[in-house]
Chain A
Amino acid sequence: MAESGRLERLERRVRELEDELARERGGWPAPRARIDTMSPEVTDTNPYSRLMALKRMGIVKDYEKIRTFTVAVVGVGGVGSVTAEMLTRCGIGKLLLFDYDKVELANMNRLFFQPHQAGLSKVQAAEHTLRNINPDVQFEVHNYNITTLDNFEHFMDRISNGALEEGKPVDLVLSCVDNFEARMAINTACNELGQIWMESGVSENAVSGHIQLIIPGESACFACAPPLVVAANIDEKTLKREGVCAASLPTTMGVVAGILVQNVLKYLLNFGTVSYYLGYNAMQDFFPTMSMKPNPQCSDQNCRKQQENYKTKAAAQPKQEVIEQQEEIVHEDNDWGIELVSETSEDELKAASGPVPELPEGITVAYTIPNKEENLITEETVAESEESLEELMAKMRNM
């Protein structure tokens, strides 16, 4: 009891000292007042004047529309934080941020976060900075790992209901995560919800990256093929990995965040050509592009379901389908059903064989999945047994 009284006293004292310190440092300057409507007026005090100039120059028809959109950014690290900052400065309507990590000094080789934020959760630190930059943007932050069961359900719920108008789905989900598991979780959610999203990534050696637009059912999902990577043209034998997990550069991450948000703006505000896949090879300064049809045999059943939906929808309005005029590339073999805007039938795809999908120069798959299993595995499967799960758990515990 005496303990808890003491704790209270100490907590009060810490608060007093924190307040005193804030006063000493002059506190944070008050953020600017909110602005109700974006003005095209060119004055020093209008934060939107240069953006609204895009309208006068005929690039964007209706820039103000940006305030009606909600974007979810999953992963607020080297790419995600810069992405969120760009969208905030562009005056996006609402941002949802998801990340379970904390700011560390080891992150300081990247943009956005500052040393004094070390120890804070990334979403909390980001919200604070971003609100200061643009108080017109609404923020909703979630500090959790989306790949675990409970969090995933909540994540799905916020994607479906978290728009400016509660109950409506977000306009776009951006994957700025750094691992395969989280990408697959986002892919699973978006296939299930029919949610359009963009994937982004930077290689572990920091010298290549990519962005990808995924419209469930219409373009290849993340599970349709083994992960696509931008060939860095580095000899694997000379690449040293001993004692390190990943390298990172603020440059590559900034470039990838830049091309990601550029694609977001083009998609949301309807200007220019939206890229389905854009790679960045920093070693040769090469930017391969392509688009990819979904795999009819995709392992995600919701992807297959979305493909059916898309086919039905496309058949109902056949006229709208003949707009794109991209070069057709025909492959001799195509085991993965990967197409570069061509119209091969499912039968032709099935008849095709070959372990590596044909991709444009500069893009390859991280690995392939052969039809035959690797020899090292026996074909023996676990025996059927009468034991219940509880019995098995007890048996394992008592071993």
Chain B
Amino acid sequence: MAEEAARRAVAELPLLRTAAGPRDRNGWAPRLKEEYRALIQYVENNKRADNDWFRLESNAEGTRWFGRCWYIHELLKYEFAIEFDIPVTYPNTAPEIAIPELDGKTAKMYRGGKICLSDHFKPLWARNVPKFGLAHLMALGHRGPPLAPPFLGLSQCFPL
């Protein structure tokens, strides 16, 4: 059900056109603009649905992203810093989102606080190269694995 909600959110996002990664000097600039447009659209959609849950920004080159996500569960707000690098193989491979504050606090995580995505994620991403971007990545991660703290078993540990 959580995954179903994520898929619906993804369906409302525009698809990206430019198949270019950060090593592609000519292609990356337009791709980056598409990434921002899709992300802005996603945040607007979320605000409209009263489901605003994250902010992201990047360095000037668009290779390093950082921001925060929050989640309200039983009247408590949980907020975490998120970060990731765009891998050289993007968009063929998705970035690995990390929540460094949670490093070592849950088994459902790789070193450095990198989130362990669901088994469905990789095939889904692979089937949608290069149309999926960061907005889709965030949408797929929301509410199901990986970005929802209660899923991580943390609701008792980190009331903020």
Contacts and interface: CB of A to CB of B under 8 A. Distances in A.
Interface of A: 101, 104, 145, 147-149, 152, 179-181, 184-185, 188, 223, 226, 241, 243-245, 299, 366-370, 373-374, 376-383, 385, 387, 389, 392-393, 395-397, 399
A239 B89 CA distance: 31
Given A367-B126, A399-B40, A149 B63 contact: yes
B154 interface: no
Nearest to A180: B93
26 contacts: A145-B85, A147-B85, A147-B87, A148-B85, A180-B93, A181-B89, A181-B96, A184-B87, A185-B88, A188-B89, A245-B109, A245-B110, A299-B129, A368-B123, A378-B14, A378-B15, A381-B17, A382-B17, A382-B34, A385-B37, A389-B32, A396-B40, A396-B43, A396-B57, A399-B44, A399-B47
Given A369-B123, A382-B17, 13 more contacts: A145-B85, A147-B88, A148-B88, A181-B89, A223-B92, A226-B126, A369-B127, A374-B124, A377-B11, A385-B33, A385-B37, A389-B62, A392-B40
Contacts of A382: 14-17, 34, 37-38, 41
B40 A241 contact: no
B109 to A, nearest CB: 7
Nearest to B55: A399
Contact of A381 (B14, B23, B111, B124): B14
B97 interface: no
B16 to A, nearest CB: 6
Contacts of B40: 392, 395-396, 399
Contacts of B78: none
A125 B38 CA distance: 44
Contact of A147 (B58, B89, B107): B89
Given A367-B123, A381-B17, A244 B107 contact: yes
Given A245-B109, A399-B40, A378 B12 contact: yes
Contact of A245 (B10, B14, B116): B116
Contact of B111 (A101, A223, A241, A377): A101
Ordered nearest first, which 3 A-B pairs have the shortest CB separation? A367-B123, A392-B36, A147-B87
A370 to B, nearest CB: 7
Contacts, number: 131
B85 A370 contact: no
Nearest to A243: B107
A180 B110 CA distance: 13
A299 B19 CA distance: 11
B57 A299 contact: no
Contact of B131 (A181, A299, A377, A397): A377
Contacts of B107: 243-245
B128 A243 contact: no
A134 B14 CA distance: 57
Contact of B93 (A184, A381, A387): A184
B22 A149 contact: yes
Contacts of B55: 396, 399
A185 B16 contact: no
Given A188-B88, A366-B123, A381 B15 contact: yes
Nearest to B124: A374
Interface string B45-70: 00100000001111001110000000
Contacts of B27: none
Nearest to A299: B92
B29 interface: yes
Nearest to A146: B88
Contacts of B33: 385, 387, 389, 392
B119 interface: yes
Contact of B57 (A241, A373, A393): A393
Chain B CB within 10 Å, residue with most, of A152, A179, A379, A399: A399
B159 interface: no
Contacts of A152: 23, 88
